[in-house]
């Protein structure tokens, strides 16, 4: 599985194993001029990792309503499906960036930055939800 934390300037990417329910941060992709994702780079990552499906974080407010960025995340998920053929699921990403920063501070390593760690948390959350 592969997960994306879609943001206004960057996209965090994580990969994981559904059998073990574990995930690892992979990389951060910068959005291109005009706010377009770098599709050739995304497609290369998908080809390299050969995931069975993708998870895209859906930005929600604490009351469950969709944030302004939600429309862009949904569009990204749709285009990801169209360009790669992957089944794409949306997953609530509330507080993932905050938790990502907490993990980075606790672990003492900021090697990946918060975006791929947020994608890791989204994927771990997806695994936990689908196992229940």
What's 33's domain CATH number?
Answer: 3.30.420.140
Residues 6+ apart with CB under 8 A from 12: 4, 5, 25, 27, 28, 29, 113, 114, 115, 116, 117, 118, 119
For tokens 């080809």, the residue is 47
pLDDT at 112: 61
Task: Find where tokens 């994981």 sit.
Answer: 16
Residue 1 has pLDDT above 90, yes or no: yes
Up-side HSE of residue 98: CA atoms within 13 Å toward CB?
4
pTM score, whole prediction:
0.86
At 131 the pLDDT is: 78
Residue 56 lies in domain: 2-131
The model's pLDDT over 107-118, given as tens digits with 9 standing for 90+, comes to 666 666 788 989
Alpha helix segments (H runs only) across 2-113: 39-49, 69-84, 96-107
Token pair for 21: 């329910």
Number of domains in the chain: 1
């Amino acid at each position: 599985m592969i997960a994306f934390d879609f943001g206004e300037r960057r996209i965090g990417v994580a990969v994981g194993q559904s059998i073990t329910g574990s995930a690892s941060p992979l990389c951060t992709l910068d959005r291109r001029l005009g706010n377009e994702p770098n599709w050739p780079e995304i497609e290369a990552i998908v080809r390299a990792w050969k995931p069975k499906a993708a998870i895209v974080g859906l930005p929600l407010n604490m009351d469950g309503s969709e944030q302004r960025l939600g429309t862009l995340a949904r569009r990204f998920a749709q285009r990801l499906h169209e360009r790669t053929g992957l089944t794409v699921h949306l997953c609530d990403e509330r507080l993932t960036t905050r938790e990502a920063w907490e993990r980075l501070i606790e672990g003492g390593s900021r090697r990946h930055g918060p975006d791929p760690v947020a994608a890791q948390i989204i994927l771990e959350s997806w695994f936990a939800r689908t196992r229940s």
